[in-house]
Chain A
Amino acid sequence: MAARSALRTSIDWGSLAPLRLRSRHVAEGVYAGGHRSARRGAGVEFGGHRQYTPGDDLRWLDRRSLLLHDRLLVRQFETETDRALRLVVDATASMGYRGTQAPGAKLAFAALVSAALARIALSRGDPVGLSFLGGTSATHSVPVASGRESFERLLAALETSEAGGDAIKDAGVLDRGLSSLARSARRGSIVVLLSDLLDLPKEAPDRVAAVASRGRIVVVVQTLDPDELTLPFDGTMRLRSLEGDVIVETDADAARDEYVAALAELNRTWERALVARGARIVRATTADDPIRVVRSILEAAY
Chain B
Amino acid sequence: MSFVAWLALGIGVLVVAPYLAHRLRRKRADSRLFAAAHLVPPAPPRARRRSSLEDVALFSTRALAVLALALLGASPLVRCSRLSLQRSSGASVALAIVIDDSMSMRAKAGNQSRFERARDAARELLASAREGDAVAIVMAGAPARVALAATTDLGAARALVDAMPPSDRATDLDSAVALARGLVAELPQIDRRVVLLSDMADGDPDGAPLGEGSSVPLWAPLTDIREPASDCAVLAADRTRKQVRARIVCSHDANAAGRDAVVYSGDDEIARAHVPLTAGSDAIVTLPNDPTTALVLKLSGEDAIASDDAAPVVLESGPGTIAVVADAAEETAVTGGPPVVEQALSALKGSVAIRPIPIVPDRADDLASFIGILIDDPPGFTPEQRHALADFLKDGGAVLVALGPKSAAAPLGATLQPLVDRNVSWTENKSDGADVTKSAARFSDIAGSLANLGAARRASLTQDDLAALELLIPWKDGAPLVARRTIGRGEVELVTLPFNVDASDFPLRPGFLSLLDAWEGRVLERSSPRRQSVGTAWTFPAATSVRIDGPGGPLAVVRDGDLLRAEPSLIGAYQVAFSGGKTEQRVAAPVTREIDLRPRRVAESASTSSVGTTHSQVDASWVVALGLLGLVAFELVLRVRAAQRPVEELA
Q: Is the CB of B40 within 8 A of A231?
A: yes
Q: In the complex, how many residue pairs between chain A and chain B have their CB atoms under 8 Å apart?
A: 102
Question: Which of A28-36, A121-129, A172-180, A245-253 faces chain B?
Answer: A245-253
Q: Is the CB of B40 within 8 A of A250?
A: yes
Q: Is the CB of A246 within 8 A of B37?
A: yes
Q: Which of B32, B35, B38 contacts A238 (CB 8 A)?
A: B32
What residues on A are CB-neighbors of B110 within 8 Å? none
Within 32-88 of B, Cβ neighbours of A (below 8 Å) are at 32-43, 45, 47-49
Q: Is the CB of A240 within 8 A of B32?
A: yes
Q: Is the CB of A249 within 8 A of B29?
A: yes
Q: Which of B34, B39, B45 contacts A263 (CB 8 A)?
A: B39
Within 207-251 of A, Cβ neighbours of B (below 8 Å) are at 225, 227-228, 231, 233, 235-244, 246-251
Q: Which of B30, B35, B37 contacts A247 (CB 8 A)?
A: B37
What residues on B are CB-neighbors of A159 within 8 Å? none
A235-B49, A251-B47 known; A259 and B32 CB under 8 Å?
A: no
Q: Which of B30, B35, B45 contacts A237 (CB 8 A)?
A: B30
What residues on B are CB-neighbors of A231 within 8 Å? 40
A237-B32, A238-B29 known; A248 and B38 CB under 8 Å?
A: yes
The yes or no answer to A258 lying at the interface (CB within 8 A) is yes
A100-B648, A237-B29, A238-B30 known; A259 and B42 CB under 8 Å?
A: no
What residues on B are CB-neighbors of A228 within 8 Å? 34-36
Q: Which of A236, A237, A258, A259 contacts B36 (CB 8 A)?
A: A259
Q: How far is the CA of A120 from the CA of B378 in the complex (A)?
A: 125
The yes or no answer to B112 lying at the interface (CB within 8 A) is no
The yes or no answer to B31 lying at the interface (CB within 8 A) is yes
For residue A235, which residue of chain B has the nearest CB? B49
What residues on A are CB-neighbors of B30 within 8 Å? 233, 235-238
Q: Tell me the count of chain B residues lying within 8 A, CB to CB, of chain A.
A: 22
For residue B34, which residue of chain A has the nearest CB? A239
Q: Is the CB of A263 within 8 A of B47?
A: no
For residue A196, which residue of chain B has the nearest CB? B35
Q: Is the CB of A97 within 8 A of B35?
A: yes
Q: Which of A97, A100, A244 contacts B38 (CB 8 A)?
A: A244
What residues on A are CB-neighbors of B651 within 8 Å? 238
Q: Is the CB of B34 within 8 A of A249?
A: no
A250-B40, A255-B40 known; A242 and B49 CB under 8 Å?
A: no
Q: Is the CB of A241 within 8 A of B37?
A: yes
What residues on A are CB-neighbors of B37 within 8 Å? 239-241, 246-248
Q: How far is the CA of A237 from the CA of B35 in the complex (A)?
A: 14
The yes or no answer to A80 lying at the interface (CB within 8 A) is no
A100-B648, A235-B30 known; A249 and B43 CB under 8 Å?
A: yes
Q: Is the CB of B41 within 8 A of A262?
A: yes
Q: Is the CB of B42 within 8 A of A249?
A: yes
Interface flags for B321-360 (1: CB within 8 Å of A; 0: not) read 0000000000000000000000000000000000000000
For residue A92, which residue of chain B has the nearest CB? B35
What residues on B are CB-neighbors of A254 within 8 Å? 43, 47
Give A250 Cβ to nearest chain B Cβ, in Å: 4
What residues on B are CB-neighbors of A239 within 8 Å? 31-34, 37, 40
The yes or no answer to A198 lying at the interface (CB within 8 A) is yes
Give B25 Cβ to nearest chain A Cβ, in Å: 14
Give A282 Cβ to nearest chain B Cβ, in Å: 19
Give A163 Cβ to nearest chain B Cβ, in Å: 10
Q: Is the CB of B48 within 8 A of A236?
A: yes
Interface flags for A248-278 (1: CB within 8 Å of B; 0: not) read 1111001100110011001000000000000
Q: How far is the CA of A266 from the CA of B39 in the complex (A)?
A: 9
Q: How far is the CA of A235 from the CA of B47 in the complex (A)?
A: 8
Q: Is the CB of B36 within 8 A of A233?
A: no
The yes or no answer to A94 lying at the interface (CB within 8 A) is yes
A235-B49, A236-B48, A237-B30 known; A250 and B43 CB under 8 Å?
A: yes
For residue A253, which residue of chain B has the nearest CB? B47
The yes or no answer to A82 lying at the interface (CB within 8 A) is no
Q: Is the CB of A198 within 8 A of B35?
A: yes
Q: How far is the CA of A227 from the CA of B39 in the complex (A)?
A: 13
Interface flags for B597-614 (1: CB within 8 Å of A; 0: not) read 000000000000000000
Q: How far is the CA of A97 from the CA of B32 in the complex (A)?
A: 11
The yes or no answer to A162 lying at the interface (CB within 8 A) is no
Within 631-651 of B, Cβ neighbours of A (below 8 Å) are at 648, 651
What residues on B are CB-neighbors of A246 within 8 Å? 37-38
What residues on B are CB-neighbors of A247 within 8 Å? 37
Interface centre among A196, A242, A244 (most CB of B within 10 A): A242
A100-B648, A236-B49 known; A248 and B40 CB under 8 Å?
A: yes
Within 98-132 of A, Cβ neighbours of B (below 8 Å) are at 100, 106
What residues on B are CB-neighbors of A266 within 8 Å? 39
Q: How far is the CA of A249 from the CA of B49 in the complex (A)?
A: 13
A94-B35, A240-B33 known; A250 and B41 CB under 8 Å?
A: yes
Q: How far is the CA of A237 from the CA of B33 in the complex (A)?
A: 10
Interface flags for A280-302 (1: CB within 8 Å of B; 0: not) read 00000000000000000000000
Give A257 Cβ to nearest chain B Cβ, in Å: 9
Interface centre among A199, A239, A251, A266 (most CB of B within 10 A): A239
A235-B49, A251-B47 known; A242 and B33 CB under 8 Å?
A: yes
Q: How far is the CA of A106 from the CA of B47 in the complex (A)?
A: 31
Q: Is the CB of A198 within 8 A of B36?
A: yes
Q: How far is the CA of A106 from the CA of B33 in the complex (A)?
A: 14
What residues on B are CB-neighbors of A242 within 8 Å? 33, 35
A100-B648, A227-B34 known; A259 and B41 CB under 8 Å?
A: yes
Give A289 Cβ to nearest chain B Cβ, in Å: 22
Q: How far is the CA of A156 from the CA of B45 in the complex (A)?
A: 48
Q: Is the CB of A240 within 8 A of B41?
A: no
What residues on A are CB-neighbors of B35 within 8 Å? 94-95, 97, 106, 196, 198-199, 225, 228, 241-243
Q: How far is the CA of A89 from the CA of B41 in the complex (A)?
A: 28
Q: Is the CB of B31 within 8 A of A240?
A: yes
Q: How far is the CA of A169 from the CA of B29 in the complex (A)?
A: 27
The 6 closest A-B pairs by CB, nearest first: A251-B47, A241-B37, A94-B35, A250-B43, A238-B31, A236-B29
**22 A-B pairs in the complex with CB atoms less than 8 angstroms apart:** A94-B35, A94-B36, A95-B35, A228-B34, A235-B49, A236-B43, A236-B47, A237-B29, A238-B32, A238-B651, A239-B32, A241-B34, A241-B35, A242-B33, A246-B38, A248-B40, A248-B41, A249-B45, A251-B43, A251-B47, A255-B41, A258-B41
